[in-house]
């Protein structure tokens, strides 16, 4: 798989799928810049650069891209991984919660794509991978705003891929099932019976278990690599078969 020597920026890289992706891509030979949401997520022993990047702030995007340009001469790959989950049905969702989820999960990603496209075009091409969700494809109980944001991610992915194929820029999304990360652990805890919630979730996956972050990272890395050179505009499920049920 070839991401060797490529410059990659990963958002939400302090934990979970983002952290696993930075480590996977680094091991595959990419120059990875980890975008962290908080100072507390910074690892003092990290073998790659870490930049604070709140995807809601255009200034943070400008700073991260300027860093990639200054350190590595540009940017080849963007992994839009940052995301938040706040559960709720339509009646439980306040305007503030709706706006926050859409701002991080969808508008944050839009800002990122808008920021990197000129850089990639200048280099003659690039790759964007957007992290959507199984919730973009099927209904999930009390995930109203989250599912809406992730459905938007898959639509945005197709639209971007269409607009920028001629620039040599491929854009794909991935739709993970339930993956063992801090986000999911919190969801189980919030249910009031984390053991039962985990069992219910496992039962939805034909492979009979939850996924781990590295199993998503490897698919992200594949989509970023030249091995996926004829793949664009797709939303690829990484879900233990959940979407075929």
Query: How far apart are CB 132 and ligand NAI at their closest, in Å?
Result: 7
| Residue whose token pair is 């091995």 | 227
176 binds ligand NAI (CB under 6 A): yes
Q: Hey, is 54 helix, strand or coil?
A: coil
Query: How far apart are CB 16 and ligand NAI at their closest, in Å?
Result: 2
How far apart CA 238 and CA 44 sit, in angstroms, is 31
18 binds ligand NAI (CB under 6 A): yes
181 binds ligand NAI (CB under 6 A): yes
11 binds ligand NAI (CB under 6 A): yes
- The answer to whether residue 67 is catalytic is no
User: Using an 8 Å Cβ cutoff, are 110 and 171 in contact?
Assistant: no
Residue whose C-alpha is closest to residue 240's, from 203, 200, 205, 202: 205
Residue range at the interface with ligand NAI (CB under 6 A); choices 26-34, 43-51, 157-165, 181-189: 181-189
Binding characters for ligand NAI, 23-42, by CB under 6 A (x = yes): --------------x---x-
How far apart CA 91 and CA 94 sit, in angstroms, is 8
107 binds ligand NAI (CB under 6 A): no
Q: Which of residues 168, 182, 206, 241 is near ligand NAI by CB under 6 A?
A: 182
Binding characters for ligand NAI, 51-90, by CB under 6 A (x = yes): --xxxx------------------------xxxxx-----
User: Using an 8 Å Cβ cutoff, are 109 and 55 in contact?
Assistant: yes
Q: Which of residues 12, 112, 126, 240 is near ligand NAI by CB under 6 A?
A: 12
User: Using an 8 Å Cβ cutoff, are 18 and 37 in contact?
Assistant: no
Torsion of CA 144, 211, 238, 7, to 10 degrees: 100
How far apart CA 185 and CA 109 sit, in angstroms, is 24
| Residue whose token pair is 């075009």 | 121
Residues annotated as catalytic are 146
Name the site residues for ligand NAI (rule: CB under 6 A).
11-12, 14-18, 37, 41, 53-56, 81-85, 104, 131, 133, 176, 178-179, 181-184
């Amino acid at each position: 798989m070839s991401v060797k020597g490529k410059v990659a920026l990963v958002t939400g890289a302090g934990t979970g799928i983002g952290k696993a992706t930075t480590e996977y891509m680094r091991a595959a030979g990419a120059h990875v810049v980890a975008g962290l949401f908080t100072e507390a997520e910074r690892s003092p022993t990290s073998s790659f650069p870490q930049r604070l990047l709140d995807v809601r702030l255009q200034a943070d995007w400008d700073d991260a891209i300027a860093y990639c340009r200054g350190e590595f001469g540009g940017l080849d790959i963007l992994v839009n991984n940052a995301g938040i989950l706040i559960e709720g049905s339509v009646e439980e969702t306040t305007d503030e919660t709706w706006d926050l989820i859409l701002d991080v999960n969808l508008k944050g990603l839009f800002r990122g794509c808008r920021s990197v496209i000129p850089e990639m075009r200048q280099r003659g091409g690039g790759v964007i991978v957007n992290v959507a969700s199984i919730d973009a494809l099927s209904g999930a109980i009390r995930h109203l705003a989250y599912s809406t944001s992730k459905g938007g991610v898959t639509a945005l992915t197709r639209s971007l891929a269409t607009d920028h194929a001629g620039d040599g820029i491929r854009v794909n999304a991935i739709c993970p099932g339930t993956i063992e990360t801090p986000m999911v652990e919190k969801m189980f805890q919030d249910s009031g019976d984390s053991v039962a919630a985990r069992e219910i979730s496992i039962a939805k996956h034909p492979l009979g278990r939850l996924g781990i972050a590295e199993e998503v990272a490897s698919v992200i890395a594949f989509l970023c690599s030249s091995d996926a050179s004829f793949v664009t505009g797709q939303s690829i499920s990484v879900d233990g078969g959940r979407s075929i049920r």
